[in-house]
Amino acid sequence: MAFARAQPTVSTGAERNPVRANQYSWLSAGQYSPQQTLATRFAPPIGAARVPAPAGSFGAWLRYLPLLPAGTAVHLYDGQLKKPQTVHAAVVRIDVGSRDLQQCADAVIRLRAEYLFSQNPDKVHFHLTSGHDIWFSDWYNGKGFRVTGETVESAPKAVEHPTHAVFRRYLDQIFTYAGTRSVEREMQPAALATLQPGDVFIKGGSPGHAVLVLDMSVNSRTGQRYFLLAQSYMPAQQIHILRNLQNPKLSPWYELNEKADLETPEWAFTSSQLRRF
């Protein structure tokens, strides 16, 4: 079955950062630096320009994610260094937690959830691997859950305010009982020709993996499109921007090729494994 190719509009000039610092709610006051973002760190490939992202969209929010200083190493949840240290181009300035929870699918959940939280906390919900749909609004209003074996039951909990600290505890529960299978089922298949920021390449299962498309650019003369990717991995580790080890001269950008598998440093994906929220 043939899919119509998307024809993205190309930005013709420098974009003003449309995202407010308080949309990255895990940061303390003053921690957000407009000079240390995905957009400022990684210019598009020569001849290309970023595809405009609508204000308020997931794509715009991802484009201005805060980064740790250039050269920062990736650490695991327990403070140890990730092995190897050769797969990342940058590290996202976001906590990984102190437990082995925020792995690959959980990193996708984390960034999607943080975006929704910045828009409206009551929009946040994710399915567990069991299929149960857990809404943050229910959770902070006292409707928790308990998992016994493969059984998920409602369990009362304290009513709380929807602060970011409460939200972060909710996410740890989601990370514990969700994974690549549940995230894959939660999303819709998407054609590679329509790739856009916020899409996810994902293989559900054990083992499985997931990487998130953060940004896109296009060469208006040739039509060639490029994209940036982020991941966490096992054990739980800081979310990081992936290098393109197949084409170091282009790295960290990846060239969109509808006829080939996507080779990332630690996993390969087929075009049929693209999903969209």
238 lies in some domain: yes
26 lies in some domain: no
- pLDDT tens, residue by residue, 146-167: 999 889 999 999 999 999 999 9
247 lies in some domain: yes
Domain extent for 159: 34-276
3 lies in some domain: no
13 lies in some domain: no
254 lies in some domain: yes
14 lies in some domain: no
Give the pLDDT band of residue 193 (cuts 50, 70, 90): very high
Give mean pLDDT, residues 249-259. 97
25 lies in some domain: no
Q: How many domains does the chain have?
A: 1
Q: What single string gives the DSSP state of each residue in 95-143?
A: ---SSTT--HHHHHHHHHHHHHHHH-GGG-EEE-TTS-EEEHHHHHTTE
- The answer to whether 187 and 90 have CB atoms below 8 angstroms apart is no
Structure tokens at 259: 């006829």
The answer, yes or no, to whether residue 50 has pLDDT greater than 70, is: yes
- pLDDT tens, residue by residue, 78-91: 999 999 999 999 99
Judge residue 241's burial from the number of C-beta atoms within 10 Å of its C-beta, 0-12 exposed, 13-18 middle, 19 or more buried. Answer: buried
